[in-house]
Amino acid sequence: MIVEFFKTFVMLFIIMGPFSSFVVFSDITKRFSKKQKLKIINKAVAVAGLLAMVFILGGNSIMDLFGVTMKSFTIVGGAVLFLLGLEMILSFKISKDKAKDYNVAALIIATPLTTGPGVITSVILFSNSIGIFPTTLSLLLSLGLIYVLLRGHDKICSVLGTGTIEIISKVVGIFIAARGVELILSIL
């Protein structure tokens, strides 16, 4: 049970893409104060956790209720991730004024980045295979680590510098876009 829990935690943490969230957070919160950034972090982690918990507890029922298959959900999630990656790589914006509203910024970090189609699919599968409690505990630990990483954002950025963050942002954008393509290809 401990080995299964550890594997679930590691897989969930990786799928949540904490470094992608960090880089996107850096990109979309440039204009916000420290107080607003903390609100974004708190809201993003809370929304990501709540969304994942909904799917841990009732994912199969929700998908059935709306007549949505995991395949279609994965395609949409992959497309969103691909577009988000392109925004980061090419430095253009698809959505207007997303950086002006901290609520929108928090939601972008919460979903599709932290709790996106990969996480939703995974928590449904994990809760069915190892149980609700170990999946929930894995989720909480993963979110806790992401919270700590985002809280240390300004310190990490001051050590790395703006240029390094820009380079990392472009590289992570490539991986986010590629992850979107992988999600789509995984169901073909």
Decide: pTM greater than 0.95: no
Could you tell me the end-to-end alpha-carbon distance of the chain, in angstroms, rounded to an integer?
Answer: 33
**Helical segments of the chain, H only:** 2-16, 18-28, 34-66, 70-90, 102-108, 117-129, 132-151, 153-160, 162-185
At 48-60, the pLDDT tens digits run: 999 999 999 999 8
What percent of the chain shows pLDDT beyond 70? 95
> 108 CB contacts (<8 Å, ≥6 apart)?
24, 28, 84, 98
At 80-99, the pLDDT tens digits run: 778 878 877 887 766 554 55
Residue 181 burial (C-beta neighbours within 10 Å; 0-12, 13-18, 19+) = middle
Task: Tell me the CB-side half-sphere exposure of residue 108, using CA atoms within 13 A.
Answer: 27
CA–CA separation, 131 vs 61, rounded Å?
Answer: 16
**101 or 64, higher pLDDT:** 64
At 16-33, the pLDDT tens digits run: 877 777 777 887 888 888
- Give the pLDDT band (50/70/90) at residue 142: very high
φ, ψ of residue 71 to 5 degrees: the values are: -65, -50
Q: Are the beta carbons of 41 and 151 closer than 8 angstroms?
A: yes
> 154 CB contacts (<8 Å, ≥6 apart)?
34, 37
